[in-house]
Structure 1
């Protein structure tokens, strides 16, 4: 078997879209005997960035809660035979996904997309779109309606 991917990053925001992406990422991880990295980006509280551009202690209460939630998700949805790691970082989601992918030498990013169109897309922007545009590695996006064929 040819191993296309050794390290797969799956950003998780706990939405149905990111959980669908997790199913896709898990399937690819098993097919490639890769290591899966689950990343959650905790938002920086409003106004905090203006007062403290590089916080020395980046909101540990928020990160701790999200780390526990992400660890629980991993225990519930990822088989014991799969190698994985959970990461929680504060900051801008797209920027942190790109930085993490670079820092860990990720081979593939698998992420959910909300599929917003029109004004909603213009106003809210798209984390997935920015990651696709700026990533140095392939990015696979999945909608919550994605159906995954299990590895044989």
Structure 2
């Protein structure tokens, strides 16, 4: 059985990647889906920041990003694993894929909002260059 990794950020492009993976599985290609949200490392510039508050905010953001993807997979009756990681986004996606023996990455071309779309566009570009497995970009 093939393992497919889908990085999500809650954007419409990420959800399109999930829908694409669902159609692949429904077309008869057996696969286990791994849905991952990677939160960037945040380095507080001062001791006045509450680290626990920052971690909670990142966890909440990750759960929001995963929620819509998981609902689509649940509705389609497709088995999946979900994960939240913190790190450099592209390399964390690649590392997760390697450690879980994923054979394919399907991801959106852009992320949330205008600034984030630049980041996600840059992330998808980095993933393509770092990956040793096929990467499909979905609009």
CA positional deviation for 1:127: 0.7
**Map of 1:1-150 to 2, 5 A cutoff?**
6-30=2-26, 31-45=28-42, 47-48=43-44, 60-70=55-65, 72-78=67-73, 79=75, 81-114=77-110, 126-143=122-139
Contact 2:8/2:66 (<8 A) preserved: no
**1 or 2, which has the higher helix percentage?**
2
> Deviation per CA, 1:101-149, whole angstroms, max 9, x where unpaired?
111000100001139xxxx9xx856111111111011000011xxxxxx
RMSD, matched Cα:
2.7
Which is worse superposed, 60-69 or 81-90? 60-69
Structure-2-length-normalised TM-score: 0.75
Unmatched tracts of structure 1, length 5 or more: 52-56, 144-152
Structure-1-length-normalised TM-score: 0.70
Unmatched tracts of structure 2, length 5 or more: 47-51
Contact 2:10/2:66 (<8 A) preserved: no
CA distance in 1: counterparts of 2:9 and 2:66, whole angstroms: 13
> Judging changes above 3 Å, is the alpha-carbon distance between structure 1 residues 67 and 127 closer, same or farther for their aligned structure 2 residues?
closer
Q: Which has the larger radius of gyration?
A: 1
SS of 2:14's equivalent in the other structure is helix
> Judging changes above 3 Å, is the alpha-carbon distance between structure 1 residues 74 and 20 closer, same or farther for their aligned structure 2 residues?
closer
How many residue pairs end up in the alignment? 125
